[in-house]
Structure 1
Amino acid sequence: MASTAPPAALDDSPAARRREQRGWYFYDWANSAFYTTIISVFLGPYLIPVAKTAACAKDFPELASETCMSQFDALVLRHPGLGYVDVLGVDIRPAAFFGLTLTVAVFLQIVFLPIVGALADHTGRKRELLGGFAYVGALATMGLYFVEGDRYMLGGLLFVVANLAYGSSVVVYDSFLPQISTPEERDGVSSRGWAIGYLGGGLLLLLNLGLFLQHDSLGLSEGMAVRISMMSAGLWWAIFTIVPLLRLRNRPVATHETTTLRSVGGSFRQLGRTLAELRRYPLTLLFLVAYLVYNDGVQTVIGNSAAFASEALKLDKTVQITAILMVQFVAFFGALLLGWLARRFGTKRTVLASLVLWTGIVVVAMFVGEGQALQFYLMAFAIAIVLGGTQALSRSLFSQVIPKGREAEYFSLLQISDKGSAFIGSLTVTIALQLTNSYRIAIVSMIIFFVVGFVLLALTNLPKAIRAAGNEVPSRI
């Protein structure tokens, strides 16, 4: 191990911080394109037919591809032993392929994100790691352009790589927050970053949906329009990542190893110490559990909103797509609004109030009339108001209750608590559907997550948690 003398202190003047903050915001703008264009809208509906094409070519070669695709479900009913694709020697139904890919991607994040966080804190090379993960993810996303025909495995592999890189980059990105802002600035900086992310992701999605809906008039096939849209998300991610890489600065660490192998080994040791030391911060752990619970409710409501619109309300795709776009742009203002409320009334009170609103939203979902698009739009509008603010202010609160020098490691725990708990809400919805066959009741079942999360957060003594982590308590928390 080689010790290095600490370099001269960085300029931490308000002007220097603002310069970094403005650069930091742009990474939210850059990476949100991956989540909105790839995960939320295009990849799943595109990848499943690609897998079906492969199954058709393998099991029904006597049929034309178009004929097999149009009759696929009926063919599988008549031939239950056919209609599978091979995934590393295991037969998987095409309809389940994207879900399997998503599960593998989430599992790998749970395994690797803590290592990424430890490496970032241990070496202090956060800017380089942010750029490396961002460009691996962007290139993998651009590679989705080449997923066509029966290349379902290529699509699955590229998505797993891109999603792992996306999660890793977000851990490093979030860990800059307490370094580029004072405790008093934290809520505003986090809220602006989240808001700008919604705006960037929404703008590219608007352009891509315009391309998709007008593909015939532009002389493009539907598949080509989707491929161009997916490639554009990678290009957007790559281009706008340049801004934070130019503005953000690494902070010095006391010592670090001289080789990559030793750095990784040191990072594992540091991660072990951090997990063991978490017992010294019980209130930080309580906040993490509270966030795990209520954020699982948030993610489950969002993840099932399209199915709720189609199954419970019988609304068409046009309504669903326009609602998604509206949420993106309204959430920009919602995140800024909740940031302003936090400065006026306190961050914890604002998050608690947002959880009350989330509870009200899922209760109202029980009474939205079938075919009532306006009522669905109003519900989506209410979700958009609290969506970004709940998450942005939670990120800000968490940054206050973690010790200095361990930011990336603790933010990796925040990320994996998000990813790892996602199955709980999904399981709750699945059980509710199995017992009642009602998407309305399934959505209302999310009340328990918001109520329990509210209680746990209310019980968290945040000033005490902040002081225990060795941080300054802001005037309003």
Structure 2
Amino acid sequence: MQQTASKKVVNAWAMYDWANSAYNLVITTTIFPEYFAAITGDDNPATLDTVQFLGRTFRSDSLYSYSLSFAFLIVALASPLLSSIADTRGNKKHFLAFFMTMGSIACCSLYFFTSERLGLGIFCMIIACIGYWSSLVFYNSYLPEIAAPQDRDRISAKGFAFGYIGSVLLQLICFLFVLKHDWFGFADTGAGSRFSFLATGIWWFLFALVPLYRLPRYSMTLIDPNRSAVFNGYVELRKVWQQLKQLPPLRRFLGAYFFYNMGVQTVMLAATLYAKSELQIPTANLIIALVLIQLIAVPGAFAISKLSEKVGNIRALMIVVAIWIGLCVAGYLAPVGGVVYFYLLAAAIGFVMGGIQSLSRSTYAKLMPDTKDTTSFFSFFDVTEKIANVVGLFAFGYISELTGTQRNSVLALVVYFIIGLLNLFYTLRTKPKTDYPATA
């Protein structure tokens, strides 16, 4: 019977969430989207903000969505091969270190992003996104190796909790750089924002050294040493796909995850621009709401983990997805300038945001068969997530451009969640009901 790793190893694993979540909060969610909107806009809510890029005129918020969508497409295409190579050669830690370094350097390079260097900003934003999400393939794959099945929900939630706490700490420091820029000798809020990007890259790199030092190394598992690592990687991918075809619950769960995660990730990646440009929430109130989301996400992740212990993972996910449907409708109906309404909406999103991510990861780990090729299996999980991000973000930007408002894009998210909910119900029916509270 598998034993959970020592507390030192588990905490080191969770520490990577502490390190990289600063990117997810500062760059993806708060300061960078606000900075991007400021330098690509004219501060006039009555006019449409557009920019010239690659010889075409874009809505600035749509260009932002398209850029992230392109980054996720690169990750989706590359991660299966990379993760399979990591499994066949047993060097997943090296890949984790490579992508972490690439992402953190790109964050630091955003310090040089100004209105005159739009191309540089877009390029660094894409590279940072690729580094962050690619590193998570290898980080997530450690979960079934360091945690026994009965401990995976708890340890997965612990990772997210570390991430939210660490990111909020840096976020508060960065808010001082922006809102009290004169304290630090910065000329304006823009300079304070750019220094925040530099601080985020340094934070990510330094704290990631802890898991890179303490996580265990694994021996090489080359199937045929005479074959190239790339060829073995494709062989491993084919093996995983063949196994997935024989595992209906896991395959159907991935289908459900694709759709509901499309909605979750789009909300997380586009919420700041929606609140700023569509709802016209003042910057100070937006900052308060975003911090509120992060703080509530911590108890939310543990509360939903407890719910899964009582009703099973799939049923708990069904409940959470149903809540997300209501939140998307509430977001569509949100009044312009409605600060109190936005606070309540943000609090509700924060509570279910961490829980659905943590529970999805641990549910997938539970449904996986016993295997040493954990990175290859998690690459399918990761590719499902990234393709969902590609489709969700591109659709969000395209619908906004087509209809002239982001509200219709928010309403479209309801469709994704409904399809995900139906697939979860279908997944539940593929196994005896008694299996779920104990396993998934």
Q: CA 1:21 to 1:450, structure 2 compared with 1: closer, same or farther past 3 Å?
A: same
Counterpart in the other structure of 2:203:
236
1:336 counterpart SS class: helix
Which of 75, 79, 86 aligns to 1:109? It is 75
Superposition pairs of residues 414-429 of structure 1, within 5 angstroms = 414-426=381-393
Q: Identify the range of structure 1 (142-151 vs 427-436) with the bigger mean alpha-carbon deviation.
A: 427-436
For 1:294, the aligned partner's letter is Y
Shift of 1:140: 2.5
Shift of 1:116: 1.6
Counterpart in the other structure of 2:140:
174
Alignment partner of 1:121 is 2:90: no
1:174 counterpart SS class: helix
Q: CA 1:110 to 1:342, structure 2 compared with 1: closer, same or farther past 3 Å?
A: same
Counterpart in the other structure of 1:39:
28
In 1, distance between residues paired with 2:131 and 2:268? 23
For 1:233, the aligned partner's letter is T
Unaligned ranges ≥5, structure 2:
none
In 1, distance between residues paired with 2:244 and 2:223? 23
Alignment partner of 1:264 is 2:230: yes
In 2, distance between residues paired with 1:134 and 1:379? 33
2:85 counterpart SS class: helix
Shift of 1:155: 3.1
Alignment partner of 1:159 is 2:125: yes
Counterpart in the other structure of 2:265:
299
Unaligned ranges ≥5, structure 1:
1-10, 53-68, 78-82, 466-471
In 2, distance between residues paired with 1:423 and 1:240? 29
Deviations 1:282-324 (A, max 9, x none): 3322110100111112223334433543455443222222111
Counterpart in the other structure of 1:457:
424
Report the number of matched residues: 434
Q: CA 1:51 to 1:380, structure 2 compared with 1: closer, same or farther past 3 Å?
A: closer
For 1:158, the aligned partner's letter is C
Counterpart in the other structure of 1:21:
10
2:346 counterpart SS class: helix
TM-score (norm 1): 0.80
Counterpart in the other structure of 1:288:
254
Shift of 1:263: 1.8
> Relative contact order (C-alpha < 8 Å, sep 6+): which is higher?
2
Q: CA 1:94 to 1:249, structure 2 compared with 1: closer, same or farther past 3 Å?
A: same
Counterpart in the other structure of 2:315:
349
In 2, distance between residues paired with 1:123 and 1:285? 26
Superposition pairs of residues 244-259 of structure 1, within 5 angstroms = 244-255=211-222
Counterpart in the other structure of 1:56:
none
Moved segments of 4+, more than 6 Å: 48-52, 434-438
Q: CA 1:473 to 1:100, structure 2 compared with 1: closer, same or farther past 3 Å?
A: closer
Q: CA 1:40 to 1:366, structure 2 compared with 1: closer, same or farther past 3 Å?
A: closer
Counterpart in the other structure of 2:438:
475
2:148 counterpart SS class: coil
For 1:189, the aligned partner's letter is I
Q: CA 1:287 to 1:207, structure 2 compared with 1: closer, same or farther past 3 Å?
A: same
Shift of 1:124: 1.4
Deviations 1:421-459 (A, max 9, x none): 235445665687688766556534433222221121122
In 2, distance between residues paired with 1:140 and 1:312? 29
TM-score (norm 2): 0.86
Contact 2:29-2:271 within 8 A present in 1 as well: no
Percent of matched pairs sharing the same residue:
29
Structure 1 or 2, whichever has the larger Rg, is 1
In 1, distance between residues paired with 2:118 and 2:398? 30
In 2, distance between residues paired with 1:307 and 1:133? 27
Q: Identify the range of structure 1 (408-417 vs 39-48) with the bigger mean alpha-carbon deviation.
A: 39-48
For 2:300, the aligned partner's letter is G
